[in-house]
Structure 1
Amino acid sequence: MALTPAQTQLADGQAHAARAMWNCLHDWWTMLPKEKRSLAAADAAIRQARKDIGWLAVLPAQAAQAVLKTYFQAWKNCWNGHTDAPTFKARFRAVMSVDIPQGRDLQIQRVHRRWGMVNLPKVGRVRFRWTKDLPVGKKANVDNRITGARLIKDALGWHIAFRVRTLESAPGPHEGPEIGIDAGVNIPLALSDGNYHHHGRPARLPDGTADRDKWLNADEKVKLLRLERRAAHRKSFRKPGQKTSNRLKRTYHQIASLRARAKRRAADWQHRTTTEIARAYGVIVVEELDIPNMIKSARGTVENPGKNVAQKSGLNRSISQEAWGRTVTMLTYKAARHGGALHKVPAPGTSQRCSMCGFTTPGSRESQALFVCKNESCGWSGNADHNAARNVLHLYRMGHALIPAAGRAVVRRARRVKPAAAR
């Protein structure tokens, strides 16, 4: 969105008020006895808070109600076993956002091919970049209309995301082939049919270290290095306990803008790649990876120090940059949208088993990219990632697909219920 400085200040005030509303609501909810907790009581508390606290009234009434609904839904997700319990939102770590739950308040108007106008409550008319076709004017009807929007701020500025309600027919079963996918660092996505999807950016620098800024071009990397040195120089003059200067804050903001641009490029590549895979294949099989355990530090303790700490740290950064969990999430809903399905199989042994003879021998994976079967009667060699992808598909065909996470949660809760005779 193209906001004026005054409009930016108003939007920032609403976002901070929404975060403070969430924190006050969380504090009120956790201190109240369980028998007195209810949605109606929380709604009355929010209305009273907006009357008593002047700066909370900056947030529109509908946006305050959206905070309550989001908070209540967060507790429902926790009770269902999907997420952890909601917590306080810190000022500098939380994402600044404001919800506009009613679409009739937006009054969207298209100016020309690139830009449009939208009305934001208590902010005014704002120009925004028109990047997708929206059901506005004659295109809008009961089955195809805008139901609301959400304002989100990142290092690049304020953005608006519209919620659109559409009526779509259920997709028919996908007639495409089955495919196994192995996620890696050198080859982001290796397929069992021999194809692969690469983002065209080297994962490592010429000296062999991981390139954490691979989504930036050469000029942007030079600019980032200059900004980081400038920030370190200006930070050296700050005394302990002293506030950060405006110059240092401006430098930090410029660094964050470059980081946000790189993150957007990575997410754009993931969206394009997952859409292509979901359209081409009917059954998609991936490994169930324990990513938090994979990126644990190898530093160890003082008594038992770790080995190859620097190498493991670089590998952890590379794994985090690839965002394998987000890729699986995209494949899950995009496959369902096109009539396909995504399945998960156990990960242990997929990189050590030979996909040709089926033998698992230690040391078969000689390097990150080469697999050589140690079985004397086989001796097959090939790309290690493609070999792992074929093993992933083999596990699915042999009936080793795992139960989805929601299904496992239901099974665990069912096992806790005591038989009727024991009650």
Structure 2
Amino acid sequence: MDDQAHAARTMWNCLHDWWTMLPKQKRSLAAADAAIRQARKEIDWLGVLPAQAAQAVLKTYFQAWKNCWDHHADAPNFKARLHTVMSVDIPQGRDLNITRVHRRWGMANIPKIGRIRFRWTKDLPVGRHADTDNRITGARLVKDALGWHIAFRVQTLEPKPEPHPGPEVGIDVGVTVPLALSDENHQDHGRPARTRDGTADRDKWLNADEKAKLLRLQQRAAHRKSFGRPGQKTSNRLRATYDQIASLRARAKRRATDWQHRTTTQLARTCGVIVVEQLDITNMTKSARGTVQEPGTRVAQKSGLNRSISQEAWARTITMLTYKTARQGGTLHKVPAPGTSQRCSACGATTPGNRESQAVFVCKNEDCGWPGNADHNAGRNILHLYRMGHTLIPAAGSAVVRRPRGVKPATER
């Protein structure tokens, strides 16, 4: 599997060089297909990649260019060995020949590898449960720090869901309270955002024993790295230590993703309309270091806040809510973010100093003086903006008008 993954990555890089060096009038799928076939014949270690997987690399690369031309993504680039996820695509589902051994395990055929066993975690349309509307169309092998995983592509026919009769709720994402709801049913994962000394807890998804093990591994890695020389190849012992550190990080990420899936599924099943903020996370997590001429202030504190924001993975949570609410018949809307944390949800006044701290909100208006939780207040303001009609984008599942291919967007001079 490792050989096939490296061959697929190299195939992408060779295809990228071949594509960018050719004149535009000579670029075509037929010419790229012929080049791939020739490369697999002339280079032995590229031949370990099955022909179908090589064709999948070509289709993925061409789709990446189409996404770039349609202004949906950046242009494809070179895939580095140490910064690329190892993966192999199996585009044809009939080659898998999946069988279920018992409740927890299944077997599948992998081209040029053979019969493998995998953990059966979800129901798959195999055997008498498979038909033209519900079937497996392919799979993808992906490797991370915990080993190799297989993800199946399933084509299924699902009925259009009925409109969800659930209530409307506004959600404010945060660091202290991950998901603060306007109805006060806040969702907390029980992991402290900061340690006892006030710094950001980078490893909050690990228990005490795992944190101690991680610290020992980091100290061991630093000790072994001190014996290396500039330009010298990393030793096998240091690489093994790095792998152990990566496995702990991957375990923490898996726990965080599991909590997000469970929480978003519960919200999608309960609520009919979910309203969130339109956040520019890239600007929120910019460094405060500044320049040499104008150095920034409170750089360490801002760095800890950026790390905490990145750990919560707000964008991934909103993505999960988007497609899960659509499956349940609900809708997700986004509203402008400015002012939601400073406006009083009781009287509607925005007075400087309303938010006394990260968790405490006290209205400074003399006629109001409403006290409450700052995150709960922001959630109520988000829901109020939706009810007043201040939505930014169409609801999930609605039609989006796209610019036709070949038509340049209008620009103001």
Which bracket does the TM-score occupy, shorter chain normalised?
over 0.9
Match of 1:269 in 2: 259
Higher helix share: 1
The one-letter code of the counterpart of 1:313 is S
CA distance in 2, matches of 1:17, 1:60: 10
Q: How does 1:249-288 map to 2 (within 5 A)?
A: 249-288=239-278
CA distance in 1, matches of 2:323, 2:261: 12
Q: How does 1:299-310 map to 2 (within 5 A)?
A: 299-310=289-300
The one-letter code of the counterpart of 1:186 is T
Aligned with 1:153 (options 126, 143, 153) = 143
1:332 aligned onto 2:322: yes
CA distance in 2, matches of 1:36, 1:399: 51
> How many pairs align?
407
Q: Mark the CA change 1:415 to 1:341 in structure 2 (over 3 Å): closer, same or farther.
A: farther
CA-to-aligned-CA distance 1:255-300 (integer Å, 9 cap, x gap): 0000000000001111111111111111111101010100111111
Q: Mark the CA change 1:379 to 1:408 in structure 2 (over 3 Å): closer, same or farther.
A: farther
Normalising by structure 1, report the TM-score.
0.93
Match of 1:3 in 2: none
SS in 2 for 1:354: coil
Aligned with 1:173 (options 157, 163, 170) = 163
Match of 2:58 in 1: 68
Aligned with 2:377 (options 361, 375, 387) = 387
Q: Is the 8 A contact 1:49 1:56 kept in 2?
A: yes
1:403 shift after superposition:
2.4
SS in 2 for 1:44: helix
Q: Is the 8 A contact 2:355 2:362 kept in 1?
A: yes
Q: Is the 8 A contact 1:181 1:191 kept in 2?
A: yes
Aligned with 1:108 (options 98, 109, 113) = 98
Match of 1:5 in 2: none
CA-to-aligned-CA distance 1:128-167 (integer Å, 9 cap, x gap): 1111111121111111111110000000000001111111
Structure 1: unaligned runs, 5 residues or longer: 1-10, 419-423
The one-letter code of the counterpart of 2:170 is G
SS in 1 for 2:259: helix
SS in 1 for 2:47: helix
Q: Is the 8 A contact 1:287 1:345 kept in 2?
A: yes
1:347 shift after superposition:
0.6
CA distance in 2, matches of 1:417, 1:225: 55
CA distance in 1, matches of 2:273, 2:292: 48
Normalising by structure 2, report the TM-score.
0.96
Q: Mark the CA change 1:183 to 1:168 in structure 2 (over 3 Å): closer, same or farther.
A: same
1:221 aligned onto 2:221: no
4+ runs deviating over 4 angstroms? 404-411
Aligned with 1:292 (options 277, 282, 286) = 282
CA distance in 2, matches of 1:289, 1:277: 20
1:81 aligned onto 2:81: no
Q: Mark the CA change 1:306 to 1:318 in structure 2 (over 3 Å): closer, same or farther.
A: same
Q: Mark the CA change 1:70 to 1:216 in structure 2 (over 3 Å): closer, same or farther.
A: same
SS in 2 for 1:99: strand
Structure 2: unaligned runs, 5 residues or longer: none
CA distance in 2, matches of 1:85, 1:409: 19
CA-to-aligned-CA distance 1:145-191 (integer Å, 9 cap, x gap): 11110000000000001111111111111111111110000000000
Match of 1:184 in 2: 174
Match of 1:343 in 2: 333
Match of 1:7 in 2: none
Q: Mark the CA change 1:235 to 1:377 in structure 2 (over 3 Å): closer, same or farther.
A: same
Q: How does 1:116-127 map to 2 (within 5 A)?
A: 116-127=106-117
Aligned with 2:193 (options 197, 203, 224) = 203
SS in 2 for 1:113: coil
Stretch deviating more after TM superposition (134-143 or 11-20): 134-143
1:404 shift after superposition:
5.0
Match of 2:42 in 1: 52
SS in 2 for 1:197: coil
Q: Mark the CA change 1:391 to 1:25 in structure 2 (over 3 Å): closer, same or farther.
A: same
CA distance in 2, matches of 1:242, 1:252: 16
The one-letter code of the counterpart of 1:346 is P
Quick one: percent identity of the two aligned structures? 79
Aligned with 2:307 (options 295, 314, 317) = 317
CA-to-aligned-CA distance 1:228-268 (integer Å, 9 cap, x gap): 00000111111111111100000000000000000000011
Q: Mark the CA change 1:344 to 1:23 in structure 2 (over 3 Å): closer, same or farther.
A: same
CA distance in 1, matches of 2:409, 2:99: 55
Stretch deviating more after TM superposition (298-307 or 16-25): 298-307
The one-letter code of the counterpart of 1:85 is A
1:416 shift after superposition:
3.6
Match of 1:243 in 2: 233
The one-letter code of the counterpart of 1:217 is N
The one-letter code of the counterpart of 1:277 is L
CA distance in 2, matches of 1:294, 1:358: 26
Q: Is the 8 A contact 1:81 1:409 kept in 2?
A: no
CA distance in 2, matches of 1:33, 1:415: 22
1:303 shift after superposition:
2.1
